[in-house]
Structure 1
């Protein structure tokens, strides 16, 4: 582990941006900074034990931060051309991180209040994050195109598609979870129906988060911001249709 320069005070180390810190400094930031939110969550959980679940999310974040320098060696997290802002690959990694944090934080919390909603939100954050991370070679800066007015278009922006995945994913997966809950508590709809709807939901998420494939069969270019807005609306219309089918199966089985 690198030695921390004695000329730096603890305050300076804690206030230094992550990308400008050494391995020792970033790990000191984690060790010093992580206990405070965990302590706060603990005291809040004394009044409502469900809040303790958020500590899992902070632990995931802490582990990520602790090994951030190792992660930087494997992924190009920052774009040197834009003042060390996150690159598209960095945003893909962040999408996975957000998914893991949301999953570990919200699954226990929401599960106690509304099982189907809790499962839907948790996996609705996690699965799109995993899919975007796996296909990070597609969500790159090279997907951005320059229009006639010299404006750089959106391209296959990871965060834009991650938001799309969350919005569609948590609703579909909540409906899927509801089908399973109804089956195990009421005996309907059938287990096969529930499994098929879950498979269809996941396949649909995989499909809509594959803009390079969709772009080959539609008449507008998804790399343009205006086209993405249309695509976002269209995807949600299909989701509503699938949810309608799920509700029909629950109410009329």
Structure 2
């Protein structure tokens, strides 16, 4: 096999084009070349961003492991979930991206945790990890909603997993992360009550979940949420949910301060 073919196998992002032996070569090359490449990336980030925690390197390695598992179990996963694109204009179907995100969730979690450790607030990093991973797991359990079947035959976004993940994470950043960050103050000087922490996290998880039910909302709103205008509606809804969540959190904070 020519050297060019080996590198072609290594760089491919379309596992269905590889036969059984080529998949083994792809996985082996990713292990042999991926680990040192990721370590070099870790050193670069260490020098540029001053990230000195090995959890960040582990996060990068988890992304590599996720890809290896994605390729190794491609046939079984494709048979069960349909990873090859049908209507999706991208290399994988929407379901394929949900599966890839799910496999990568440990990497996302540890990457967010590294950010918290670097900022000196472990609980902030933990909150980031939860806010980022929760929508991924939620979409996995609703994978039929976030699939190519959501894409209209005449064209449209459908329920694109990446877009809805970003919306949900943004809502979680101002709610779930706020709640977990409060744990730092609760444990250090008690300036924040545990009730406020719990309520903030719960409110955050609720608003994060709302935007992950586009199929249900599509039945009650006057426009098709699978289209461009539909997603703009979801974006506007996310802004409303942000405002409502902040009001509820601040209201509960004031109420708790009066009671306690």
Q: After superposition, what is the alpha-carbon deviation per residue over 1:139-159, rounded to whole angstroms, capped at 9, x for unaligned?
A: 12222224xxxx412121212
| 1:69-107 deviation line (CA, Å, top 9, x unaligned) | 333122322216778821111121233245432211221
Check conservation: 1:176, 1:246, Cα contact below 8 A: no
> How far 1:179 sits from its partner (Å)?
2.9
**What's the offset of the Cα at 1:137?**
0.9
Pick closer, same or farther for the CA change 1:188–1:178 going to 2, 3 Å. same
1:228–1:43 distance in 2 versus 1, CA, 3 Å: closer
Which residue is 2:114 aligned to?
108
In the TM superposition, residue 195 of structure 1 has moved relative to its aligned partner by: 1.4
Within the alignment, does 1:230 sit opposite 2:233 as a pair? yes
Shift of 1:45: 7.6
Match for residue 194 of structure 1? 197
Q: 1:250 to 1:44 in 2, by over 3 A?
A: farther
Query: 1:126 matched to which residue of 2?
Result: 133
> Which residue, 67, 82, 92 being the options, matches 1:86?
92
Deviation for aligned residue 1:233? 1.9
Q: Which residue of 1 aligns with 2:26?
A: 26
Partner of 1:3: none
Distance 1:187 1:55, change over 3 A: same
Q: Does residue 135 of the first structure (1) align with residue 149 of the second (2)?
A: no
Match of 2:73 in 1: 71
- Unpaired runs of 5+ residues, structure 2, are none
Please give the per-residue CA displacement for 1:162-186, whole angstroms capped at 9, x wherever unaligned. 1211222222222111333332223
Give the equivalent residue in structure 2 for 1:12. Answer: 5
Verify the 8 A CA contact 1:179 1:250 in the aligned structure 2. Answer: no
**Quick one: distance in 2 between partners of 1:82 and 1:223?**
13
Name the CA distance, whole Å, in 2 between partners of 1:78 and 1:201.
Answer: 33
Q: Quickly say closer, same or farther: Cα 1:135–1:36, change in 2 above 3 A.
A: same
Offset at 1:226? 0.6
Distance 1:216 1:185, change over 3 A: farther
Coordinate RMSD, CA, aligned: 2.8
Cα separation, partners in 2 of 1:93 and 1:41, compared to 1, 3 Å: same
What's 1:145 paired with?
152
Aligned to 2:55: 53
Q: Is 1:220 aligned with 2:235?
A: no
> Residues 187 and 217 of structure 1: is their aligned pair in 2 closer, same or farther, counting only changes over 3 Å?
farther
Give the whole-Å Cα distance in 2 for the aligned partners of 1:23 and 1:44: 30
On the 8 A contact 1:54/1:105 being kept in 2, the answer is yes
Question: Tell me, which stretches of 5 or more residues in structure 1 are unaligned?
Answer: 1-6
